Amino acid sequence: MLRNSVKFLLAIAFSPTLLFAQDSTKIDTTRIGLMSPIVVHQRLRMLGYSNVIIIENVRAHVRANALKSGRALAVKYDPYSGKVTEVPGRLERGPRGLRLVKPDGSKVAPPN
């Protein structure tokens, strides 16, 4: 009985339908690569940033701390559209996840 129950649960867990449903909830990434750090640095350098420190590099975006015209900025870069969002301050990881430390020292969630 127990063995049959385990079989049943495994069958459910690995059924193509369920796997497909899980897969369909995210962007299919099988044919697109992620930017490696050397590429992130080069792309941001081409956009005028220096002292780039990568904080987060996932498929949807790269977050980095960088300098531009002497200003410390938290940068979000979309690898596939090239769209850049920048705000004054710097990003840091803490117990509550990624936070933006604004120039006045206050900490907020990084902008989307």
Partner 1 sequence: MFRAEILARINEIIGRSILCQGDQAMKHHLQTAMLAVLILGSASGLGAQHPFRGSLLWSVLLCDYTDSPASPRSPADVRDMFTTLGTDGVADYWSRASRQGIVSNRIEVRGFFRVNQTVAVATAKGRWDRFNDCVSAAASGGYTPPAANGIIVMTNPNIDLWGAPGRAFAAIDHDVGAFGHEVGHGLGFNHSFSDDPTYRNAPWAQIGEYGDPWDVMSYGNVFGRPTARFGSSPVGHNGPHLDRIGWLPRNEIVTFGGDGAASHTYTLTALHDATPGGIRLVRIPFDPGDLFHYYTVEFRMGRDQDTGIPAAIVLLHEVRRGTPGDPTNTQYFSFLMIDPTGSRPPRSSLNANGVTVSVLGIDAVAGRATVSVTGNIAQRCLQGFVWREARPSDHVCVTGAVRTETRQENQLAGSRRSPNGGAFGPNTCLQGFVWREAFPNDQVCVLGASRTRAASDNAAAASRANPARFVFGPNTCKAGYVWREADGMDYVCVSGATRDDTRQENALASTRRSPTGGPFGPNTCLQGFVWREAFPGDQVCVLGASRTRAAADNGQAASRVEKP
Q: Interface with partner 1 by CB under 8 A: which residues? A: 20, 23-25, 27-36, 38-39, 42-43, 45-47, 59, 79-83
Q: How far is CA 90 from CA 63, 79, 96, 102, 110, in A?
A: 10, 20, 16, 7, 9
Q: Which residue has the tokens 């596939």?
A: 80
**Nearest distance, CB of residue 56 and partner 1, angstroms:** 15
CB of 68: closest distance to partner 1 in angstroms?
Answer: 14
Nearer to partner 1, 23 or 106 (CB): 23
- Using the Cα atoms of residue 36, residue 39, residue 45 and residue 46 in order, give the sign of their dihedral: negative
- Give 11 or 32: the residue with its C-beta nearer to partner 1: 32
